[in-house]
Amino acid sequence: MVKPTAKQLEGLQQQYQFHPLDIDDCISPAQRPKLDEYDHYLFLILTFPYYDATVREIEASEVDFFIGPDYLITVTDGRLTPLLKFFEQCQINDTYRDKFINDSPVFLLYEIINRLQVYCYPMLDHVAEDIDTIQKVIFDGYEKKMVKEILIIKRNIVSLRKIMQSHKNVVRKLLSKKDKYFIPNSINVYFNNILEQTKDIWDILETVTETINALHSTNESLISFRLNDIMKILTIITVILLPINLIAAIFGMNTPIMPFILNPNGFWIILGLMATLAVVMIIFFRKKKWF
């Protein structure tokens, strides 16, 4: 069911005797993975990442599962392309339908979760590629431009971690319900694969988190270093101009005893004195390796 109305969900509740709280979770997305157990069915909520290209942001898309002895019902917002394509293939392709729908609903659940987890890998690859690009660019003098890019990637990594962090616990809780009469014992092998994929995704997230944090620190250090250079140059210029301004202020007083006032070359003498003082100070700063 894609974006079902409240009336459709009410009909679903009446047909399968679902708990009203589960229907409420479908109407108002919980955005929190969980597994609830009832006498005749299980209710499972999982979240998966969805990339919104318009705002360059990874968001959580919730999928609600009703798992019974002879049915699997999913409720989704329609943003997860792999889920929509999978059911479309099952509708139009007899081979797909025979392969995935004729077995236990739990095997169908495994196939859906597996496809949605595999869907996460291209996002992780894209994040890693963006990090590599930033790593090359920040050393080419574009540190300030990279600040926003780094923060966008950090936001998306945080979103991915938040979305995926509960998968392991929920899947383990599902495996603990294998005493349910409609869950076959052979499902352990399949869902252990889900757990392994969850661990792999989490390990990748840990790696990219450490990398982007290191790049963020490096970028901030480069910006700080360049700002220090600018401040040092401005300070040197100020120090050089300070005595020149002092000389100009003194000779601007126009007192009768002021030297060089009556000298026809007085202006050039004073200007030469200022230039000489500036050159001496520049040579001094250069010897000190201040610039």
Q: Tell me the CATH number of domain 6-226, given options 2.40.110.10, 1.10.472.50, 1.20.58.340, 2.60.40.10.
A: 1.20.58.340
Angle, CA of 141, 143 and 144, to the nearest 5°: 120
Task: Write the pLDDT tens digit of every residue in 58-101.
Answer: 999 999 999 988 899 999 999 999 999 999 988 888 888 888 88
Which pLDDT belongs to residue 238? 86
For residues 226-254, one letter each, b for 16 or more C-beta atoms within 10 angstroms of the residue's C-beta and e for the rest, the string is eeeeeeeeeeeeeebeeebeeeeeebeee
CATH code 1.20.58.340 for 227-287: yes
Which regions of the chain are under pLDDT 50?
none
227-287 and 6-226 share a CATH fold: yes
Which pLDDT belongs to residue 258? 73
Contact 115, 44 (CB under 8 A): no
Which pLDDT belongs to residue 180? 67
Q: Where in the chain are the domains? A: 6-226, 227-287
CA dihedral 75, 126, 118, 57 (to 10 degrees): -10
Give the H or E element holding residue 147: helix 143-164
Angle, CA of 110, 73 and 26, to the nearest 5°: 110
Tokens standing for residue 80: 């997860």
Assign 193 to helix, strand or coil: helix
Which pLDDT belongs to residue 43? 93
Rounded to an integer, what distance in angstroms lies between the CA atom of residue 30 and that of residue 50? 16
* pTM of the predicted protein model: 0.77
